[in-house]
């Protein structure tokens, strides 16, 4: 599975957009980019995923560069409840890799009032 690199921490003001970057320069053509977040003492929560195209859902937007070597998760209007550890994960290419999420250290996002 490709490795990902994320900044260890980021801050964001409440109501502003939070842009969380992720580098995955060794990603292969059939690997997806997933974002999960984990609020303190809870299980990880799925946010969004994509393969090549940009994606948007009710929680966030995912922007994947054309070469697919990096991506950005955008929370358009951050709230205090978005304070969490955000994990960018690449993988699930196939076979026994299906379902195996390889979590890194993630980015601790702190949303300030």
> Is 45 a binder of another protein (CB under 8 A)?
yes
> Is 108 a binder of another protein (CB under 8 A)?
no
- Cα–Cα distance, 36 to 4 (Å, whole number): 13
Stretch that binds another protein, among 20-28, 40-48, 64-72, 76-84 (CB under 8 A): 40-48
Provide CB contacts within 8 A for 107, sequence distance 6+: 6, 7, 8, 9, 10, 20, 85, 86, 88
> Is 35 a binder of another protein (CB under 8 A)?
no
Per CB under 8 A, residues contacting another protein are 30-32, 42-46, 49, 85, 87, 92-106
């Amino acid at each position: 599975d490709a490795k990902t690199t994320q900044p260890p921490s980021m801050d964001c003001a409440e109501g502003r957009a939070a842009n969380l970057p992720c580098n995955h320069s060794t990603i292969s053509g059939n690997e997806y980019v997933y974002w999960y977040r984990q609020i303190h003492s809870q299980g990880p929560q799925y946010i969004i995923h994509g393969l090549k195209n940009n994606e948007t859902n009710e929680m966030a937007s995912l922007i994947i560069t054309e070469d697919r070597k990096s991506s950005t998760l955008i929370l358009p209007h951050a709230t205090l409840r978005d304070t969490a550890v955000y994990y960018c994960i690449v993988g699930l290419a196939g076979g026994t890799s299906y379902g195996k999420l390889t979590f890194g250290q993630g980015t601790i996002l702190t949303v300030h009032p």
